């Protein structure tokens, strides 16, 4: 029996480049960087004093003030993107269909800003002054929870936490939910807001971040020989995925189709990818197999491409192993060069870029690519977006803990 087709009928986004999908996408096509000095806190004395912030975000422009007051920033950003995605989809949730609409939204870290603030209150003022909203604001499932509350979706509801692969896994698991008949539509993706002192200090101590404080716009440089770490980002990407016949019956706009999904684990190290790339190779092969595509049928690869020395080298090697000679013909790029690394939200944001690229017949660039690395020798679409008509795209996401996810998107 053929599994039901699952299509994308709505998209929403808040990013360091804009407060909507189209605002962000136009900035991507212009090759803009979202990086700049940190404004969320005084970063003087930190190794990395810049990040890719969602700028001038007022949650009350997207939700009721009472709702916003009891949500961490990550959940506010997630709910704002979900509202855009739902409005875009035209999907109306009623008592009749509410239990057939699910929510699967991931976050790598959740409400870390709330945790940090309330911990300071605990130390300074004592336990009696800690907010009763501490726990619901900090837990990583609250973005999914509040999206359900605000939209009325009463179908399967859950959060995925797999570090930087969280939202890609969320999309994949949402698709599987529809395929097995547990829901007709699912609101899915990810949200993250970790530009806070403790997170910046922690990632800096790991030497994971770029320290180009004198030149933030050029700090994220995936696959470039002079890359020195990723740039912290925040934001959200939300999609509405829907069973194809259900979408067609209601006359929905269709952006694309999720053709394949793969999920694997490295079983290797807490933070380092398997240096032989076995998990990355396996996850791409699984997604290709589910999509029933040969490697040479993929028109574009949206790389995980973090701008860290090891990740970019390992991902390049894995692509070459899986794609063979086709690896040198398929364009590969990393939009993290512009958005920074949105951690648990990255996969969803990048999946949206894939379907927009197919829609507009363009491949986004890898900006800040200046000096080739002999170990990274593929076509990274350097610095300028490329006009190209393609009907399939692969999106890779890899997370600390060895979590790997791969999505293959197709044009309908």
CA distance 212 to 159: 34
Buried b (16+ CB within 10 A) or exposed e, 301-332: bbbbbbbbbebbbbbbbbbbbbbeeebeebbb
DSSP symbols for 125-172: H-GGGS-TTHHHHHSTTHHHHHHHHHHT--S-EE----GGGHHHHHHH
Round the CA-based radius of gyration of the chain to a whole number and report it: 20
Q: Which two tokens stand for residue 260?
A: 């394949």
Torsion sign (Cα): 105, 109, 115, 117: negative
User: Of 234, 206, 231, nearest to 220 (Cα)?
Assistant: 231
For the chain, give percent helix, strand, coil, nearest 5.
40, 20, 40
- Which regions of 334-402 does DSSP assign to beta strands (E)? 362-363, 386-387, 392-399
- Chain Cα centroid distance, residue 232: 13
364 neighbors 388 (Cβ within 8 angstroms): no
**5-21 burial, b if ≥16 CB within 10 A, otherwise e?**
bbbbbbbbbbbbbbbbb
DSSP H/E element including 350: helix 346-360
**Positions marked active-site:** 164, 304, 341
- Can you tell me the distance from the alpha carbon of 314 to that of 304, in angstroms, rounded to the nearest whole number? 11
DSSP string, 253-322: ---EEEEEEEEEE--S-SSSPPTT-HHHHHHHHHHHHHHT--GGG---EE----S-HHHHHHHHHHHHHH
């Amino acid at each position: 029996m053929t599994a039901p087709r699952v299509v994308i009928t709505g998209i929403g986004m808040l990013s360091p480049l804009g407060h909507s999908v189209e605002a962000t996408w136009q900035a991507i096509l212009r090759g803009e960087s979202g990086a700049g000095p940190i404004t969320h806190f005084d970063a003087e004395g930190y190794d990395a004093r810049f990040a890719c912030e969602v700028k001038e975000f007022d949650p009350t422009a997207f939700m009721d003030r009472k709702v916003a007051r009891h949500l961490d920033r990550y959940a506010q950003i997630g709910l704002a993107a979900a509202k855009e995605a739902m409005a875009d989809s035209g999907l109306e949730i009623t008592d009749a269909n509410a239990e057939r609409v699910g929510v699967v939204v991931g976050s790598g870290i959740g409400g870390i800003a709330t945790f940090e603030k309330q911990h300071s209150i605990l130390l300074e003022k004592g336990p009696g002054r800690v907010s009763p909203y501490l726990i619901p604001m900090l837990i990583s499932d609250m973005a999914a929870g509040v999206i359900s509350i605000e939209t009325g979706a009463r179908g399967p509801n859950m959060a995925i936490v797999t570090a930087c692969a969280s939202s890609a896994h969320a999309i994949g698991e949402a698709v599987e939910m529809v395929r097995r008949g547990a829901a007709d539509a699912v609101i899915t993706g990810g949200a993250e807001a970790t530009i806070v002192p403790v997170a910046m200090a922690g990632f800096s101590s790991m030497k994971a971040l770029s320290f180009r404080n004198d030149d933030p716009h050029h700090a994220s440089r995936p696959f470039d020989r002079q890359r020195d770490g990723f740039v912290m980002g925040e934001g959200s990407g939300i999609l509405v995925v829907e069973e194809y016949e259900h979408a067609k019956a209601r006359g929905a706009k269709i952006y694309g189709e999720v053709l394949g999904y793969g999920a694997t684990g490295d079983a290797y190290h807490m933070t380092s990818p398997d240096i032989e790339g076995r998990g990355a190779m396996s996850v791409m092969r699984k997604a290709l197999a589910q999509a029933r595509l040969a490697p040479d049928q993929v028109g574009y690869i949206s790389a995980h491409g973090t701008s860290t020395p090891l990740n970019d080298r390992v991902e390049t090697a894995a692509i070459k192993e899986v794609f063979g000679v086709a690896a040198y013909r398929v364009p590969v790029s990393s939009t993290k060069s512009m958005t920074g690394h949105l951690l648990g939200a990255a996969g969803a944001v990048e999946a949206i870029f894939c379907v927009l690229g197919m829609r507009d017949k363009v491949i986004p660039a890898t900006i800040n690519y200046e000096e080739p690395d002999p170990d990274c020798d593929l076509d990274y679409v350097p610095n300028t977006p490329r006009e190209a008509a393609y009907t399939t795209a692969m999106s890779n996401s890899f997370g600390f803990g060895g979590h790997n996810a791969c999505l293959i998107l197709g044009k309908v």
